[in-house]
Amino acid sequence: MALLYFDVNVIVAIRVVKFLEYELLLWKKKLNDFLKTCSTTNHKQLVKYLKDVSYEEKQLLNAYSNIIGAFKLCHNVFGMSILLLMVEGFGHPLIYIQLIIDVAKSSTENAEATSITSLLVTFIWILKSVTLISLLCVACQNFYLTVADVETACSVVRCDEGCLVSAHRLSKNVQRFGACVGARRMMRPFNLVSVSAATPLHMLTVLVTYTVVLLQFAFL
């Protein structure tokens, strides 16, 4: 039941990260609308719309800070479950592999049937863990890429001299906020392992390496 609890937490974390990615894409769309408003506003209209543009600028900055803050909160809340899932996804397969090796070395028929059953259980367990870890890593990687796209768009705005001061100020504040809080920093549960697109491959590499070590100890 404890492992099921942690698996459910990871599933919730995946959904939260996907939702935050959607919110960030929506924020980017609002940013483009804001830039269109700023680029089509001339000096006469600026006096009339200055208050509204300033209010929208503050709303966009607050929304961006809330999205990044929610991702950091998700990191802190579900960090333990994510770390335990990775440890469990690495440790349990090795335990089952060692069990299969021990059973396979015996010569009884019951041992052979047990070996096949253990092999199926091991495969299903590894598949479950790898699937959850892969889904989480893909969701986090998409969020990182979306944050990078937002900061790239802000850099383009800062180089555009046709926009109003509000657009330049918003872009600079977004980049400044991202640099202060580490918006592009990867999710790292307890600063032990990073959650990115390369994480499943690294875990699989380590798992295969230690599996070969177990086979060497057993048969060499």
> How does pLDDT run across 38-52, given as a tens digit for each residue?
765 554 555 555 556
Tell me which residue range forms the domain holding 198.
2-219
Beta strands in the chain (DSSP E): none
Residue 10 in tokens: 């990871």
Tally of domains in the chain: 1
Determine the pLDDT at residue 137: 93
pLDDT in tens, 49-93: 555 667 788 888 899 999 998 998 998 999 998 998 888 888 877
Question: How far apart (Å, rounded) are the C-alpha atoms in residues 120 and 51?
Answer: 66
CATH code, domain with 39? 1.20.1050
Cβ-Cβ contacts under 8 Å for 178 (sequence gap 6 or more)? 68, 147, 151, 184
d(CA 163, CA 212): 60
